[in-house]
Structure 1
Amino acid sequence: MVEIKTLFSLDHTLAKDYLEQFTYPWQALKGIHDFILELGPTLKEYEERQPFVWVHPSATIAPSAFLGAPCIIGPETEVRHGAFIRGNALVGAGCVVGNSVELKNVILFDGVQTPHYNYVGDSILGYKSHMGAGSITSNVKSDKSLIVVKTEKKQYPTELKKVGAMLGDFVEVGCNSVMNPGTIVGRHSQIYPVSCVRGVIPSNSIFKDKDHIVRKA
């Protein structure tokens, strides 16, 4: 449930070849910066609007949005008023980066929506996943210890201090929810609004609270 091949359809991201090098998604976080710097100059249809910031001509960027280097903004993507892209961000095609949204060290697959007041850091969001208004990925534990991804049967040490959330394809996160450090949500799962989520949520599930995780009918 925690492997890249079970969470994501890699045909929906420019990071396909990069991600195929790894088994687990958190293994890709350290190299996002260097990967973007390598990929950017090869994107012939993209414009380098400032050093190490590549934007497809069909993307819409609000004048008040901040695009920090390095980053890539894909075709037909909309970056709205007050968005803050701190850098190390690969944003795919047809995405929405909304008002007051902050991105840092992330891969957003095609069709991802982070439309309103979201923080997404050290995370990978799969194809057409959606974060409701105010939902965030918490990427650092309060005691600053290294993050461990935990299932009911196994623990996976990441050896990283910063790991946000890994959302599989078509995941829906309800408004004002918090994805705790190292959270993984399987494909086609839904998170109820105002949830506090940790651990690994199976695919095709509905997360109501930590004691009520049910399979979709």
Structure 2
Amino acid sequence: MNEQITISALYDLNETIAADIFKDCTYPWEVLAKIGDFIKELGKTLPEDEYEQRAEDVWVAKSATVYPTAYINGPCIIGKEAEVRHCAFIRGKAIVGEGAVVGNSTELKNVILFNKVQVPHYNYVGDSILGYKAHMGAGSITSNVKSDKKLITIKAPDMPIDTGIKKIGAFLGDGVEVGCGSVLNPGTIVGRNSNIYPLSSVRGFVPAGSIYKNKTEIVEKNQ
């Protein structure tokens, strides 16, 4: 088993309303196909004094702020104290965690954003999971389909893993910082509390507690 890229290595499940979706899964991409149905079932159980159903399969916390120009398609849950800003485009199958920020012109599709995640400016996040307090700088995106349209292989630290899946974005551990204008290529995994330099093209695995400068220079933060 590639221990460094397991769900338990990347995420604090106490920081998401979606903790139950990770049960019986080892790696984060195993969850992607379940997100839509999970939201539909979870939404029905949300307390009516805290959440309101605004459209079919769309639940928004009453304490959340959603700008009138934002578009939200179901299934979707917007958590408590979250902020969905001007012209955000939520295409569906999205869980936006408590206190998270979905910024202007940001697009989400088939994602789980843990609590306090920030995707605040011109971001595309698709088929991805972003851990607690992960932040994507302006213009950074998750690329979720290979240019040759082949199935995605995770370039794990111990040995490659064939997923059998065509669309996979990125998995950012808790506390990850992604610099402005970066591209996270399909199947990228970034360990907890790592930093990605601006304008990076990231592929494969970045260990926890690292600074990614380029593909040949990944250093520990304490160096």
Aligned to 1:143: 148
Q: C-alpha offsets along residues 160-207 of structure 1, whole Å, 9 cap, x if unaligned?
A: 000000000000000000000000000000000000000010000000
Identity %: 63
Aligned equivalents of 1:142, 1:58: Cα separation in 2: 41
2:165 aligns to what? 160
Taking the aligned partners of 1:56 and 1:158, their CA distance within structure 2 comes to 34
Amino acid at match of 2:41: E
Q: Which letter does structure 1 place at the counterpart of 2:74? A: A
The 5 A counterparts of 1:58-73 are 58-73=63-78
Q: Which position in structure 1 is the counterpart of 2:178?
A: 173
Instruction: Name the structure 1 match of 2:220.
Output: 215
Contact kept? 2:21, 2:34, Cα under 8 Å: no
Distance 2:209 2:158 in 1: 19
List structure 1 runs of 4+ shifted beyond 6 angstroms.
none
Report the Cα distance in structure 2 between the residues aligned to 1:47 and 1:95, rounded to whole angstroms: 18
Give the residue type in structure 2 aligned to 1:8.
Y
Counting only pairs closer than 5 Å after superposition, residues 26-37 of structure 1 correspond to structure 2 as 26-37=29-40
Shift of 1:8: 0.2
Give the stretch that moved more between structures: 45-54 or 199-208: 45-54
User: Given the two structures, how large is their TM-score scaled by the length of structure 1?
Assistant: 0.99
Partner amino acid for 2:189?
I
Q: Give structure 1 stretches of 5+ with no counterpart.
A: none
Q: Offset of 1:152 from its aligned partner?
A: 4.3
Q: 1:115 aligns with which of 98, 111, 120?
A: 120
> Which of 206, 211, 223 is residue 206 of structure 1 equivalent to?
211
Q: 1:39 aligns with which of 38, 42, 45?
A: 42
What is the identity, as a one-letter code, of the residue corresponding to 1:98?
G
Q: How far off is 1:158 after superposition?
A: 1.1
Aligned counterpart in structure 2 of residue 100 of structure 1, from 84, 99, 105: 105
2:180–2:199 CA contact under 8 A, matched in 1: yes
CA distance in 2, matches of 1:132, 1:205: 17
> How high is the TM-score relative to the length of structure 2?
0.96
User: How many pairs are equivalent?
Assistant: 217
Name the structure 2 match of 1:16: 19
Q: 1-side partners of 2:82 and 2:206: how far apart?
A: 28
Q: 2:19 and 2:52 mapped to 1: Cα distance?
A: 21
1:51 is matched with 56
Cα distance in 2, alignment partners of residues 74 and 14 from structure 1: 8
**Which residue identity lines up with residue 154 of structure 1 in the other structure?**
M
Partner SS state of residue 32, structure 2: helix
Indicate the RMSD between aligned Cα atoms, in angstroms: 0.6
Distance 1:170 1:91 in 2: 16
> Aligned to 1:42, what secondary structure does the other structure show?
coil
The structural deviation recorded for 1:65 is 0.1
Q: Secondary structure at the match of 1:94?
A: coil
Shift of 1:18: 1.2
- Give the secondary structure class of the aligned counterpart of 1:207: strand
